[in-house]
Chain A
Amino acid sequence: MANSIRNWEADQKADRQTGKNQPKPDIKYVSAFRALSAFAKPHKWSFMLIFFCTLLAIAAELLQPYLVKVIIDDHLMAGKGEYSAIIGIGALYLGLAAMSLLFTYLQNNMLQYTGQSIVAKVRKQLFEHISKLSMSYFDRTSSGSLITHVSSDTESLNQLFSQVLMSVLRDGMTLVIIIFLMFQLDVQLALYCLLLLPIIAGIAIGFRSYMRRTYQRARTQLSRLIAFTAENLAGMNLIQAFHQEKEQQREFTERNEGYFRANMKEVKTQVWFRCSFDILSNLSIAFVTWLGGMAVLNKQIEFGVLYAFITYIRLFFQPLNTITQQWNTLQSATVAVTRIWGIFALKPEVENKAKPRALAKAQVRGDIEFDHVVFGYGEHAPVIRDLSLRIRAGERIGIVGTTGAGKSSLISLLCRFYDVRSGGVRIDGMDVRDMEQSQLHRIVGLVQQEPYLYSGSVLDNVRLFDTDIDEDTVIEACRLVGADAIIQRMSDGYNTRLSERGSGLSAGERQLISFARIIVFQPKILILDEATANLDSYSEQLLEQALAIVSKGRTTIIIAHRLSTVMKADRIIVMRKGAIAEQGTHSELVRRHGYYEELYRHSRGKVFA
């Protein structure tokens, strides 16, 4: 139950992927499990060992009725009065119990160890694999659903080992051994008991699938309730400002009631199940007593056998109940395994050439050329149409245009997050497709609108956890961009811990950190994608100064929808509908009285007048 908030979060994350153009994975259960067995193979000896441990672990519990039967039939009923034999059996039972204690412990630990090792390996490889996929995949897929794969799906896999396999081993073997012992004791009675098996299994499976449905319904209702509460708590100031407390309370009550009803349905099913299962168990005991009693009366069996049967029948129901419970877990684990292997089957869309040309970063000048580039996402209409543009090394370029004009797509091509449909993108005359991606990425630096902070110290955020970069380099970089003073003022200086949420830094200060990253990693080409949007005027000025330093000696491309940011560029490219509409310096463009001038007037609020 304490999991429900987590469930809700997982539901939400999983939900985010729906509707996106994600191909539904082909459900190939068999191949997925075959792939999984490849992970399990190195552990096959462990699994054998676990099997034998299980056998020894359940022996005491299962042999107890048999031992009592021996005592009753051979010693008590026989009236021989040999006490020493009873003591012997007691000692044997003690030995079995001690063995069971030891092997239950061993079995549990070994199974967990093996299962955890496999799951950890799957988790690592899955993460590594996802990280290798192309940017286009990340643009299409919400990070929420990726997180679901890495955490919840692998957790289901974990349950496959810790619960399903555990139960199949322990409970399955218990059932088999009980049946075996029953046949040893008396074949006829055992056959009668076996008749019960399909009935019990039928009831259990029938109820289980119904219970699963009621459980799912209750869980959905609870998710709704939690989602509603979370949202209302977050927007409470609005509810109060609009004086909507009563209305929201009414809606809450509706959901609360819905959850209550779904829950009672679940409770009812549970109670019905327990009731019928227990009654059936008692019915079978009465049945065995009657059949067995008659057999004892007719001297067909001894009383001890009857005693053992009664006890075994009672022992029978527990593992059967547990094992049917695993059915649901098995189902969700199957789905999870299939999804995980669906990811493993994905190939990165942008791949390195077989023999990428080596490029010494130090020698890169930073000339850029877009040569008759055509580009579109997937099957969609092109967003860049036959665009050609040359940027000289060291030039400072501003790109403006409204949303959807193709500014960001152009940058994605330069970073080779995507490949062009036709034409080419070249750096110093070399096509970006001929370079190794990691080399290209070190040459082209990107600062985005939302600076991303990792949870870690300021120091590690600047050097991106690369311990080869020493502290002095980082401090020097921060000093250059003007972040040093701010960082020194923080409680632990460069060791102050930051995180994506609630870092205590303003938007402008966060952006300074990503500027410092540029200084540390020294790319030859620098792209600023709306890097100074959404800032107040003071922060904007701060970044303006930092930018002057960062862009020194680098080819710099600045994308902005606020014109003040690009006015000082050597050249401004005005984009419209995937093509270059105008270009020139600010004053040239204003004089031209074209599209740029129109944008410019709007931005200055002149239309008011």
Chain B
Amino acid sequence: MKKGRILVDFLRQSWPLYAVAVLLHVASSIIQVFFPQVLGRFTDALQNNGLSSGLIQEYSLLLLAIGASYVVLACVAQFLIMYIGRRFERLTRSKLFMHFTGLSERFYSKNGVGKLLSYVVNDVTGVRESISMGVNQTASAVTLFFAVVTMMLYSGIPLFLLASSIVPLLLIPFIVTRFGPVIMQRSKKVQASLATMTESAEEQFGGIRVTKKFAVESVMNERFFTTVEQIKDNQLRLVRVSSIFQAIIPFLGALSLIIAISLGGYLTVNGELSLGHFVALTLYIRMLMNPLQQIGTVINTMQRSRASLERLNELLSETPDIQESKAAASLDFQGKSIHIAGLSFTYPGARGAALRDIRLDIRPGMTIGIVGATGSGKTTLMKLLLRTYEAPKGTILFDETDIRDITLESLRSQIGYVPQDGFLFSTSIRDNIAFSDRGRELNAVEESARQAQIFESIMAFPEQFETKLGERGVTLSGGQRQRTSLARGFIKQAPLMILDDSVSAVDAVTETAIMNTVRSMRKGKTTIIVAHRISAIKHADQIIVMKEGTIAQQGTHAELSAKPGLYASLCAIQEEGEADG
């Protein structure tokens, strides 16, 4: 995608609506400026005793007609513009989400959820504000301004009177653009200090056990108090500027009026200006204050949203680093073995290699156990098998086919993956287990829940499989989460299954039961089990011991525990009791 596209693309689609809205605005402003003119004429007629009750009625109705029609036109225009803005928001958010689903883990490891959310929420809103409100206000302010000036000149109010009255008003946009960013910046500081206080409260309440246990409440109170004082200081700093700003704009308006009254009054006294014009002038000046203030606001909004637009375009031009090759085809994994041939891998931007020259053959139907300390490369290897990171060409093969030549759909739908963290979505338990195919019948869901030893726990919830998880629903314990995640992997009955340290939070008794199920269920199907605890992998056909990105040892449990080495010492640590007893 080329840079700077979202806005152009959107405008190409919706310019006719835009044009209509702007035209309506222009029309509305032009009608609006007749208001003081009519009142002026009314005044003159009154002064010249040229009024009758019929004429007064006519003038009143004329004023009403002007008032009603400009309001209606302005409102329709406003609605259209807001509609356009919301459509932009909807379209851009869709685009962003679609784009997110294509980006790989490399991208997500660099960008936190908070940052990405702020693209979806704040930046999109920022751009929307300037294309809807910005355009809206510019259109109405500019036309109103010119219409007022034209009207005043046309109606015969002398130019020099006009010019000198308007001078203070012209300072308004300048002042708005001067003060706007400062106010913005200071109010951001207020928000930031509020966030700091919230974080501080969060921290204190989160650690309340520690605070209480060490009886350091007073120290912690002091820590919190400083954040409260900070807010107060920042608020006062903000109000010092914002109150000047709030006071100065009406002041400039008053200055304009003073010039108009004094100079206009002088001219009227001398008979050079009609009373009607004098009245119209004061009304026009009131009318001008708003658009001038708006122009200033718009300039500020535009500046802010330009940065947002740039960020959005940059995000959308990020190319996914894992893409299907054109020649990719689907492949049936059944009966295929996996060859890992001299696989080395370094995370982008990392100094050292995460994996070095891994060579491994996994025959179909085998169960492989992988152990090793944190950071030894176990999970990295699994990520490469899932192709969430890209392995070098020719290093991972399914029979003869390179992993890069298989479609992502074919690859991922044939791997049952159970990640370490047991991440679940805030939907029903059923939808979580049947995540790979939301339409799966309840029987299948229940069956895999049984296999993962979570069935009983689920049935204990009032809504059973329809129980909602997450913030608005039930919170599962770490062990329950892991077991639900296991069920989600089991239900796929995939030709290849990867259990990435999937039973770490489950107690020993349940772990035993689950591992027994896995063994009987996965008979004849390829299974890879990554674990910290020996008990989870000791029955594997092959055990791989990883150390610092390499395979340190390889063999069956009996072979490996018989000879001195990493595996044997791991056994010793974990089975210490035996040595003692």
Chain B interface: which of A37-45, A105-113, A200-208?
A105-113
Max chain A C-beta neighbours (<10 A), residue from B51, B118, B438, B472: B472
Q: Are A517 and B214 in contact (CB under 8 A)?
A: yes
Quote the shortest CB–CB distance from B245 to chain A (angstroms): 10
Contacts of A72 in B (CB 8 A): 275, 278-279
Q: Are A267 and B275 in contact (CB under 8 A)?
A: no
Q: Are B201 and A283 in contact (CB under 8 A)?
A: no
Q: Provide the bound-state CA to CA distance between A155 and B419, in Å.
A: 41
Q: Provide the bound-state CA to CA distance between A6 and B581, in Å.
A: 57
Task: State whether the Cβ of A138 lies closer than 8 Å to any Cβ in chain B.
Answer: yes
Task: State whether the Cβ of A120 lies closer than 8 Å to any Cβ in chain B.
Answer: yes
Besides A256-B94, A279-B68, A604-B577, 15 other CB < 8 A contacts?
A: A105-B244, A109-B239, A131-B211, A283-B67, A403-B507, A438-B217, A506-B374, A538-B374, A564-B574, A564-B577, A586-B577, A604-B575, A605-B508, A605-B511, A605-B512
Q: Provide the bound-state CA to CA distance between A300 and B171, in Å.
A: 42
Chain B, interface size: which category? 35 or more
- In the complex where A101-B247, A113-B236, A303-B47 touch, is A75 in contact with B269 (Cβ < 8 A)? yes
Checking B82, B208, B213, B240 against A445 with a beta-carbon cut-off of 8 angstroms, the contacting residue is: B213
Task: State whether the Cβ of A191 lies closer than 8 Å to any Cβ in chain B.
Answer: no
Main secondary structure of the interface of A (DSSP, over half): helix
CB closest residue in chain B, given A240: B388
Max chain A C-beta neighbours (<10 A), residue from B212, B250, B575, B580: B212
Chain B interface: which of A284-292, A324-332, A375-383, A547-555?
A284-292
- In the complex where A244-B435, A260-B90 touch, is A150 in contact with B254 (Cβ < 8 A)? no
Contacts of A132 in B (CB 8 A): 217
Q: Are A285 and B63 in contact (CB under 8 A)?
A: yes
Chain B interface: which of A28-36, A88-96, A418-426, A484-492?
A88-96
1/0 per residue, CB under 8 A from B, across A553-567: the answer is 000000001111001
Quote the shortest CB–CB distance from B44 to chain A (angstroms): 11
Q: Provide the bound-state CA to CA distance between A156 and B374, in Å.
A: 47
24 residue pairs of the A-B complex, CB under 8 angstroms, read A76-B265, A83-B269, A98-B251, A109-B240, A135-B208, A143-B208, A147-B202, A232-B100, A243-B436, A267-B83, A274-B78, A275-B71, A279-B68, A279-B71, A281-B67, A290-B56, A293-B56, A294-B56, A297-B46, A442-B214, A444-B213, A600-B577, A603-B535, A605-B535
Q: Are B254 and A500 in contact (CB under 8 A)?
A: no
- In the complex where A147-B202, A240-B388 touch, is A93 in contact with B574 (Cβ < 8 A)? no
Q: Are B374 and A536 in contact (CB under 8 A)?
A: yes
Q: Provide the bound-state CA to CA distance between A102 and B213, in Å.
A: 54
- In the complex where A240-B412, A604-B535, A604-B577 touch, is A248 in contact with B101 (Cβ < 8 A)? yes
Contacts of B261 in A (CB 8 A): 67-68, 71, 86, 89-90, 93
> Considering the complex, which residues of chain B in the window 13-56 have a beta carbon less than 8 Å from any beta carbon of chain A?
39, 42-43, 46-47, 51-53, 56
Q: Are B100 and A233 in contact (CB under 8 A)?
A: yes
Quote the shortest CB–CB distance from A20 to chain B (angstroms): 11
Q: Provide the bound-state CA to CA distance between A6 and B258, in Å.
A: 46
Main secondary structure of the interface of B (DSSP, over half): helix
Q: Are A454 and B207 in contact (CB under 8 A)?
A: yes
> Considering the complex, which residues of chain A in the window 56-104 have a beta carbon less than 8 Å from any beta carbon of chain B?
57, 60-61, 64, 67-68, 71-72, 75-77, 81-83, 86-87, 89-90, 93-94, 96-98, 100-102, 104
Task: State whether the Cβ of A587 lies closer than 8 Å to any Cβ in chain B.
Answer: yes
Q: Are A252 and B61 in contact (CB under 8 A)?
A: no
Q: Provide the bound-state CA to CA distance between A320 and B171, in Å.
A: 28
Contacts of A241 in B (CB 8 A): 386, 388, 412, 415, 417, 419
Q: Are B116 and A233 in contact (CB under 8 A)?
A: yes
Contacts of A253 in B (CB 8 A): 94
Q: Are B266 and A243 in contact (CB under 8 A)?
A: no
- In the complex where A441-B214, A537-B570 touch, is A143 in contact with B90 (Cβ < 8 A)? no
Q: Are A5 and B122 in contact (CB under 8 A)?
A: yes
Q: Are A605 and B538 in contact (CB under 8 A)?
A: yes
Q: Provide the bound-state CA to CA distance between A287 and B56, in Å.
A: 11
1/0 per residue, CB under 8 A from A, across B77-119: the answer is 0110011001101100110011011111100100001101110
Task: State whether the Cβ of B161 lies closer than 8 Å to any Cβ in chain A.
Answer: no
Quote the shortest CB–CB distance from A104 to chain B (angstroms): 4
Identify the 10 closest CB pairs spanning chains A and B, nearest first.
A282-B67, A605-B535, A108-B243, A290-B60, A97-B254, A286-B64, A293-B56, A104-B247, A86-B265, A90-B262
Task: State whether the Cβ of A116 lies closer than 8 Å to any Cβ in chain B.
Answer: yes
Task: State whether the Cβ of B523 lies closer than 8 Å to any Cβ in chain A.
Answer: no
Q: Are A293 and B100 in contact (CB under 8 A)?
A: no
> Considering the complex, which residues of chain A in the window 372-409 have a beta carbon less than 8 Å from any beta carbon of chain B?
402-403
Quote the shortest CB–CB distance from B36 to chain A (angstroms): 10
Q: Are A534 and B505 in contact (CB under 8 A)?
A: yes
Contacts of B242 in A (CB 8 A): 108
Q: Are A231 and B425 in contact (CB under 8 A)?
A: yes
Q: Provide the bound-state CA to CA distance between A448 and B576, in Å.
A: 24
1/0 per residue, CB under 8 A from A, across B207-245: the answer is 111111111110111011100110110011001101110
Q: Are A289 and B219 in contact (CB under 8 A)?
A: no
CB closest residue in chain A, given B51: A297
Q: Provide the bound-state CA to CA distance between A158 and B528, in Å.
A: 57
Q: Are B581 and A282 in contact (CB under 8 A)?
A: no
Q: Provide the bound-state CA to CA distance between A241 and B224, in Å.
A: 43
Quote the shortest CB–CB distance from A559 to chain B (angstroms): 14
- In the complex where A289-B59, A541-B573 touch, is A86 in contact with B269 (Cβ < 8 A)? yes
Task: State whether the Cβ of A271 lies closer than 8 Å to any Cβ in chain B.
Answer: yes
Contacts of A116 in B (CB 8 A): 231-232, 235-236
Chain B interface: which of A121-129, A172-180, A338-346, A351-359?
A121-129
Task: State whether the Cβ of B185 lies closer than 8 Å to any Cβ in chain A.
Answer: no
Checking A2, A283, A441, A587 against B581 with a beta-carbon cut-off of 8 angstroms, the contacting residue is: A587
Checking B74, B197, B412 against A243 with a beta-carbon cut-off of 8 angstroms, the contacting residue is: B412
Contacts of A100 in B (CB 8 A): 247, 250-251, 254
Task: State whether the Cβ of A455 lies closer than 8 Å to any Cβ in chain B.
Answer: yes
Quote the shortest CB–CB distance from A527 to chain B (angstroms): 9
Q: Are A293 and B51 in contact (CB under 8 A)?
A: yes
Q: Are A263 and B42 in contact (CB under 8 A)?
A: no
Q: Provide the bound-state CA to CA distance between A57 and B436, in Å.
A: 66
Checking A236, A297, A464 against B219 with a beta-carbon cut-off of 8 angstroms, the contacting residue is: A464
Q: Provide the bound-state CA to CA distance between A283 and B398, in Å.
A: 80
Q: Are A283 and B64 in contact (CB under 8 A)?
A: yes
Chain B interface: which of A222-230, A470-478, A576-584?
A222-230
> Considering the complex, which residues of chain A in the window 499-531 have a beta carbon less than 8 Å from any beta carbon of chain B?
500, 506, 514, 517, 521
Contacts of A271 in B (CB 8 A): 75, 78-79, 82
Q: Provide the bound-state CA to CA distance between A402 and B507, in Å.
A: 9
Task: State whether the Cβ of B461 lies closer than 8 Å to any Cβ in chain A.
Answer: no
Q: Provide the bound-state CA to CA distance between A417 and B211, in Å.
A: 13
Task: State whether the Cβ of A195 lies closer than 8 Å to any Cβ in chain B.
Answer: no
- In the complex where A76-B269, A128-B221, A243-B413 touch, is A442 in contact with B94 (Cβ < 8 A)? no
Task: State whether the Cβ of A593 lies closer than 8 Å to any Cβ in chain B.
Answer: no
Quote the shortest CB–CB distance from B575 to chain A (angstroms): 6
Contacts of A287 in B (CB 8 A): 60
1/0 per residue, CB under 8 A from A, across B426-454: the answer is 10000000011010000000000000000
- In the complex where A64-B254, A286-B61, A605-B538 touch, is A226 in contact with B507 (Cβ < 8 A)? no
Checking A87, A135, A303 against B262 with a beta-carbon cut-off of 8 angstroms, the contacting residue is: A87
Quote the shortest CB–CB distance from A97 to chain B (angstroms): 4
Task: State whether the Cβ of B476 lies closer than 8 Å to any Cβ in chain A.
Answer: no
Q: Are B98 and A236 in contact (CB under 8 A)?
A: no
Task: State whether the Cβ of B560 lies closer than 8 Å to any Cβ in chain A.
Answer: no
Quote the shortest CB–CB distance from B227 to chain A (angstroms): 9
Quote the shortest CB–CB distance from A279 to chain B (angstroms): 5
Q: Are B205 and A289 in contact (CB under 8 A)?
A: no
> Considering the complex, which residues of chain B in the window 384-420 have a beta carbon less than 8 Å from any beta carbon of chain A?
386, 388, 408-409, 412-413, 415, 417, 419
Task: State whether the Cβ of A316 lies closer than 8 Å to any Cβ in chain B.
Answer: no
Q: Are A234 and B209 in contact (CB under 8 A)?
A: no
Q: Provide the bound-state CA to CA distance between A105 and B241, in Å.
A: 9
Quote the shortest CB–CB distance from B183 to chain A (angstroms): 13
Task: State whether the Cβ of B255 lies closer than 8 Å to any Cβ in chain A.
Answer: yes
